[in-house]
Every structure is written in structure tokens, then in C-alpha cells.
Structure 1
Amino acid sequence: IVLHSIFEEQINHEAHEIDHFLFKGGESYAEAVGYFPDMELSNLESEHYLEEISTLKSSLSIPLIASLNGVSKGGWIEYAGKLQEAGADGLELNITYIPTDVDLDGRSIEKLYLDALETVLQTVSIPVSVKMNAFFSAPANMAKQFSDMGAKALVLFDRPVQVDIDLEELTAIQTIHPSISADLSESLRWSALLYKKVAASLCASTGVYTHEDVLKAMMSGADAVQMVSALLQHGESHITDVLSDLVAWMEEKEYLSIEQMKGSISLHHTVNPAAYQRANYMRILTEYRY
């Protein structure tokens, strides 16, 4: 199980609030603190997250992976150690950065990601995965750098919040829509391209709804999949349905194990490598009919 993310902004904001409360006080004088009730640190979001890990660990027999979302090298990364102490079996590092500075080049942006991973790896001993975005200029090279640095898994891909325009309020707004199976395409492509190219395990994300989506991901080269939108829409029992359909399909096609099919249609094995590369691009566009 991968928990929902705890965000850098939550951790840093709470640290600032605690500092203000303890050292500046509720009024102009620090001694005024004595006239106010003690701050309930347990009510802080970051503390709740740690408590959630401890509670779940006591009732689960499967690994529990915490998720940390941020990008800077600030104090929030130190929180990774607390996640490990709380009992997390692994950590998913979800590095989210929107490069709005036109003077910041690609190499500098990549360094932000690599520095964050390096700091986390120096902080914890549990396995760390990186949830990548699909917008690097060279995703394959970044995947290799993450893997070579010590990331045990790569999650393909982070799904960014979308931007829209409210025509009534005349303002920009942020939105997020549930994924659909068609959104899985990029994860399939890069799972197929990275299979056998990096040491890290591969996890397909965004658009995993059905047993067919799981099968496609595994055949492309993914070791695992993440499923969120489908569970929010159909409930946790949907996992049982997907697994049942998966087993039925494998029996019908006479597959004995997941390992037998994994990567079977990756770039490493496929008889049609052009499907994953540009060679097929023009033919598809010219043959498509509305």
C-alpha cells in the first residue's frame, strides 16, 4: 500500500508555526505563551501522517510505503527519517517542480531532482522509489541516473494538476480529473523502453483501471502498477475483481506466472520496435480515418 503524500509545504509551514509559537509567543512577549493552552502538536498534519503509519503497520501484513512530495533540499527532507522511524517499509519520493524561470536550464532542473533524491537516500535506509514526471527532455537518462544513484523503483508517471480558466471569475484555477485507461499510454511506452535498461523496478501509474490495463503494463515491462482513481470510483473491492479477472485471463491464455509475461512486449523483446519509436509515427497519422 502506498499512502497519500505528505507535502513539503505542510511540513515547512507547520515548522514555521511551531517556531513562531514557541519563540515569539502569542503576543509581543514570549512569556504571554503561559496564558494560552498548549499547542496540540498531535493535531498537525505531519504528526497525523506519522500516527497513520504506526496504526496501519500494526494491522497490516503487507508492506506500507509512505509518500513524500516536494523538491527543495530544505528541512522537509529530514522528515523522511521520521517516516522510517514510524514504521514505513519504503518511501516514494514524489518530486514536483514547475520550472517557470526562463533562465533556469534543463541541467539545473535535473540537478534539483537528483539532489533531493541523494539527500533522502542519505537520510533513510529503507528502499526509496522516485515518482517521475514525463516531461524531462531525456526521461530515459533521468531514469538511469535515479536508478544508478540508488532508487529501488521508478513510478511512471506523476500526474500533474491541470490548469483551467474560469470564464465567469476571469481567473486561472487548478483542477484535477480522474484518470482513464487511455491515460496509461505514456507509462506503457516508457515501461517498454526502460525494461532491462535500468536496475530499478518499474511501476506503471495513471490510468490503471482493469485487469487488461494491468496485463498491458506487465507485458510492457512493469513490475507493479498503482491504482487510485479506479478505487476512488469503485471502492477497494475493485482490487478483488481485477485480480480475479487477471487470473481468469492468464488461465485462458495458459500463462503460468506473471514473470512469464513480464516484458514480453517491451522494446527488448518486441518484433515491432517501431511501435515505441518514431518510425511508426507518420504511418499512423497518414492512415488514421475519422
Structure 2
Amino acid sequence: MDLGTRYLGLELGNPLVAAASPFSRTVDGVRRLADSGVGAVVLASLFEEQLRREAERDAALAEHSSQSYAESESYFPPGALADAGPRRHLSLIERAASSVDVPVIASINGATTGGWARHARSMQDAGAAAIELNVYFLPGDPGLTGRDVERRHLDILAAVVDSVTVPVAVKVGPQFSAFADVARALEDAGAGALVLFNRFQQPDIDPETLTVTAGATLSSRAEMRLPLTWIALLRRRAGLDLAATTGVEEAADVVRYLLAGADVVQTASALLRHGPEHATVLLDGLADWMRRKRYASVDAFRGLLAAPADPGDSTWVRGGYVRALGWADPAGFAAPTPDVR
């Protein structure tokens, strides 16, 4: 049985990818994920804010050095290296890539254009097999148009693509008026894959303390419907790879995404709930399903239930919608009698 798949030009042993999570912040965590059988590991993200802070610190150090004697130019003021996050991150990439036999994909998270995007080249040089660009941006400014938001995504992607030779995946949210058009534009701009979808922080309000609370929440299976729909719609209509993320809890969820057309399925929440070893459970379940259904390879059923290639064919979407509302439902809901008066 062949679980092998191809993603971003990389040959993977299977389609299960460990998404960015606290487990991939350390080399030991990456090893645990790899030992559990995942096909690739996405490292925890390096944030634009960290890179900007490092640049500001370096500028301050340069100014301090210019006011010192020449022989003391290498002196760092106390606490200057307290936040060496970007440097540690590059070290993590280098050590992780040399410690495991699966591809290590670096992740960079940002929301604006700027020189920080060129840091992707340092990630590549450190050993990253690919870059996952996580564009985390909620356009709350009423002065921003939809095209402005799309252009920002494309400009950030262009800055990263111009900096590296390894493939680049883009992780985005679903809040676009015409997502298929955005997918095409990202493909034209050099994206090798789309990761669907980013889960934006949704704060809560405590009515007793009159405070806004924020905290990361793990995804649930109910959230997989949206990325499942768009992967199925784009499978035969886009030329880039598709990575599913969100809502994976059991092997059947991995199968669902693959039937819709995903090239790989990322998971983080399930591994955080059950431990990295849960990846083995998911893969064993996938292999068992393939044996029962007599599929010799993942490619044999990937995209089997995707939407038709013709974008003008609305049957896949409209038909499902109508059936869901009970019209022409084979379970016994009769369609309303048309008014012929």
C-alpha cells in the first residue's frame, strides 16, 4: 500500500503533516513528531514582530558601538541578547533539519510588506525544505478596499518568493469576496500551495468583569466544513497544491480531506490533545480505510469527490444546498409543487 504523496515538489512518505504548534518549537518536539510517522513538519512560526524588534535592537547596538572605542565594538550592553528569538529560530531550523528524515518546513507570520519578508532566505539557508507564509491580517480599517487587502497578500508573497528558491506555501483566511480569484492570483504570483484556512483569533467578552478575553483555542471537527468545501472547489480548477488544516481529530477526517482533493492534511489540535503519537493512530486508520476500500495508493482516491472542473457548473454547490434544505430529498421530503398559474 502506497501512502506516498507529493507536496510543494517534495516527496513525502504520507499525506499527514504536523502543522505549526508548540511541539515544533524544539528539536525534541520535532523528533517526536517525525518518530510518530508524519510526512513533514511545519515549524512554529517566526513572527514579523520578532524580526522588527531584532532590527530595532541591532540599530540600537550599532549606535551604541559607534559611540565606543573601536576595540569595544563587539561589546553588547547588558540584556541586549535577551530576545534573540530570530537567531534561535534559525538555529532551530538548522538543528531540526539535520535531526529528522522528513522535510522541515519553516513558517513565517506577518501582515505587512517590508524587509522582514527577506528573512525567508535565512530560513532557506538554515535548511528549510520550503516556506509556509502565514498572512495573518484582519482588515478592520474601513478605508481599505477588498482589492487593497488582496494586493497586500500578493505583495507580501512576492517579497518572499523573490528571496528564496525553495517552494512557498501561503496560509490565508477565507474572508475574501471571490476566493477562487484570489487563489488564482496567488498562484500567478508564485505560490506553490495554499494552506486552507488560517484560524483568526476570536476574542470573547466577559460581561461580569467587563473585559475582553483572548486565548488560543483548539479547532473542532465542525470547523472543517469550510476548508473542505474550498478544497473540493479548487482541486480541479487550480494548478497549485492544496493543504488542508483545521478540524482533524480522527482518521476519517484525513480521508474526507483527501477525497475532497487535499494534497496533504495538516493537524495540530489533535496532536496537542492526544500527543504527537496520535499521528500513528491517524495514519493506521487511513491505511485501514484504504485496505477496506481496496485503494492501493492515496492518488487512487484523492479528489474523488471534488467539484467538476468546469467553473460554470454550479451543480456541485447548488445541488448540495438544495438537498440540504430538503428539496427533492430522497429521505421523503417532497419538493414544493410549482405555481403554474
Q: How high is the TM-score relative to the length of structure 2?
A: 0.77
Unpaired segments of 5 or more residues in structure 2? 1-40, 330-341
- In the superposition, relative to structure 1, how do residues 47 and 245 fare at CA in structure 2: closer, same or farther (>3 Å)? same
- Is the Cα contact below 8 Å between 2:57 and 2:80 reproduced in 1? no
1:198 aligns with 2:238: yes
The aligned runs of 1:140-155 (5 Å cut-off) are 140-155=180-195
Q: CA deviation at 1:38?
A: 6.0
Alignment pair present for 1:102 and 2:107: no
Which residue type is aligned with residue 106 of structure 2? Answer: A
Q: Deviations over 1:68-103 (max 9, x none)?
A: 000212121111111111110100000111111111
Task: Pick from 237, 249, 253 the counterpart of residue 209 of structure 1.
Answer: 249
1:30 CA displacement: 3.8
Q: When the two structures are aligned, how many residues end up with a matched partner? A: 283
- The counterpart of 2:123, out of the listed 58, 62, 83, is 83
Q: How has the CA–CA distance of structure 1 residues 38 and 50 changed in structure 2, closer, same or farther, with 3 Å as cutoff?
A: same
- The answer to whether 1:125 aligns with 2:161 is no
Larger mean Cα displacement after TM superposition, 164-173 or 6-15 = 164-173
Matches within 5 A, 1:244-283: 244-268=284-308, 276-281=316-321, 283=323
- Please list the CA deviations of residues 52-73 of structure 1 after superposition, one character each: whole Å capped at 9, or x if unmatched: 0011111111111000000212
| 169-178 or 58-67, larger mean C-alpha shift | 169-178
Query: Structure 1 52/285 Cα, relative in aligned 2: closer, same or farther at 3 Å?
Result: same
RMSD (CA atoms): 2.5
- Residue segments in structure 1 that go unaligned for 5+ positions in a row: none
Partner Cα distance (2:164, 2:303) in 1: 31
Q: CA deviation at 1:19?
A: 1.6
Bigger proportion of residues as helix: 1
Q: Rate the CA distance shift 1:134–1:188 in 2: closer, same or farther, 3 A.
A: same
2:209 to 169, 181, 198: 169
> Could you tell me which of 46, 60, 75 is aligned with 2:86?
46
Cα separation, partners in 2 of 1:201 and 1:18, compared to 1, 3 Å: same
1:261 positional shift = 0.6
Q: Aligned partners of 2:318 and 2:63: how far apart in 1?
A: 60
Tell whether the 8 Å contact from 1:189 to 1:276 is kept in structure 2 after alignment: no
Deviations 1:1-51 (A, max 9, x none): 1011111011101211232233157xxx94499886566648511111101
Q: Which amino acid aligns with 1:117?
A: L
Structure 1 contact 154–200 (Cα < 8 Å) conserved: yes
Q: Which amino acid aligns with 1:184?
A: M
- Identity rate of aligned residues, in percent? 39
Alpha-carbon distance in 2 for matches of 1:168, 1:14 = 39
- Aligned counterpart in structure 2 of residue 17 of structure 1, from 51, 57, 78: 57
Q: Distance in 1 between matches of 2:213 and 2:169?
A: 30
Quick one: which amino acid aligns to residue 114 of structure 1?
Answer: L
The answer on whether the counterparts of 1:42 and 1:48 sit within 8 Å (CA) in structure 2 is no
Letter matched to residue 213 of structure 1: D
Q: Secondary structure at the match of 1:123?
A: coil
TM-score, normalised by the number of residues in structure 1: 0.90
* Counterpart residue identity of residue 16, structure 1: E
Residue range with higher mean Cα deviation, 12-21 or 191-200: 12-21
Q: Is the 8 A contact 1:41 1:47 kept in 2?
A: no
Structure 1, 37-46 or 136-145: larger mean CA deviation: 37-46
Q: Aligned partners of 1:62 and 1:42: how far apart in 2?
A: 32
Q: In the aligned structure 2, how far is the partner of 1:160 from the partner of 1:31?
A: 46
Q: Which has the higher contact order (CA 8 A, sep 6+)?
A: 2
* Separation (CA, whole Å) in 2 of partners of 1:286 and 1:171: 43
